[in-house]
Amino acid sequence: MRHVVIIAGGSGTRLWPMSRTDRPKQLLPLVSGRSLLELAVRRGEALVEAERVHICAGESMRAAVLDARLADAAQYISEPEGRDTCAAIALSAAVLARRDPDAVFGVLTADHLIDPLDRFARLFDLGFSLVEDDPQRAVVFAIAATHAATGYGYIEQGKIIDGFTPACRVVSFTEKPDVERARQFIESGRYGWNSGMFVFSARGFLDALARHQPDIAAGITRIGSAWTTPQQADVLASVYPTLPRVSVDHGIMEPLSREPGGKVGAVPMDVNWLDIGSWPALAQTLDRDGQGNRINARLASLDSRSITAIADDPTHTIAVVGCEDLIIVRTADATLVVHASQAEKVKAIAAMVERRLQ
């Protein structure tokens, strides 16, 4: 049976000061008053019945997710702490395998904006079909690359898989190339951006985990064996934090793509896709005014242009004189001012602030 798992971990510190440990970005009403997690759940419901949409996230988010009615208790797969995406997907696979030995599951994240939804759903259906055809196959979705971005991973796409056009075999993965190499990728026409969305069978993923990440597999086997028993909470709490931190791309997808037989497929996804991982990315969801300013606040702008102004209080005024290409984010207890070209350093300044408050 088909399922969806939404990976909603991560601290979201690149969206500091709005995103904090106690109010992560996934739950903030950042897009037209709706949270990224709510939008991800609605995408999942376009693929499978609502009761088969699961959320894998930290225990600290459980109460907020349940209160918002984005999932019920049985659909919430809790991580005692974040151990990166390989462990999160492995835990989800083990839980689903206990409930449904034939489970095939799509992996979504709570970071994306995607439209049109019907096109997304049709292409994801192809991904499900590929894994149902061969449960040992893994599928990744390759976003049509529009420019030489250096912040995304790239997927090299090979021959079409017979009977599943336009799905193709994955030749290689490249993580965040420099701009010259990214430009070469775009010009070749063979590469797409790695969306971070996947389809696996629960059993196929656990088999691959045993081959390529045996330490994670051993811990997940212990957790899976204890699931639904009186020891579930204790085993999860004691074992999960010991699992190695590794991304699913490095830990599973890359080694699978090098195995004989080409067991990794890619479905090209020609949709509007935006990864909301930074303030410049979120700014793209806001309308521009005549000076190129993107505003989610009261902005008074004099001799300024290309300003992104965001405030958690819609009555708060941000006044700017003689500035260009700034991002200004105001909350009740902190204000961020950063040049748009330096936005990747927000994570570092957030950590600095946190250290000074300790």
- Token digits of residue 48: 């499978």
pTM: 0.93
Do residues 45 and 187 both lie within one domain?
yes
Of 275, 293, 317, which closes a domain?
Answer: 275
User: Are 148 and 264 found together in one domain?
Assistant: yes
- Same domain assignment for residues 108 and 239: yes
Q: Which two tokens stand for residue 120?
A: 């997304």
Residue 32 has pLDDT above 90, yes or no: no
Tokens 């979504």 locate to 108
- Residue 358: pLDDT band (50, 70, 90) is low
- Structural tokens at position 53: 């949409």
Mean pLDDT over the full length of the chain: 94
Residues 151 and 8 in one domain: yes
Q: Would you state the pLDDT for residue 314?
A: 82
Tens digits of residue pLDDT in 40-69: 999 999 999 999 999 999 998 999 999 999
Residue that is last in its domain, among 217, 241, 275: 275
* Tokens coding 337: 């001012």
Domain boundary among 240, 275, 310: 275
Pair (228, 335) in one structural domain: no
Contact (CB, 8 A) for 106 and 163: no
Query: Exposure of 262 by Cβ count < 10 A (0-12 exposed, 13-18 middle, 19+ buried)?
Result: middle
Q: How confident is the model at residue 126 (pLDDT cuts 50, 70, 90)?
A: very high
Provide the domain limits for residue 336: 279-357
Residue 277 clears pLDDT 90, i.e. is over it: no
Can you say how many angstroms the Cα of residue 256 is from the centroid of all Cα atoms in its chain?
21
The pLDDT score that the predictor gives to residue 234 is 97
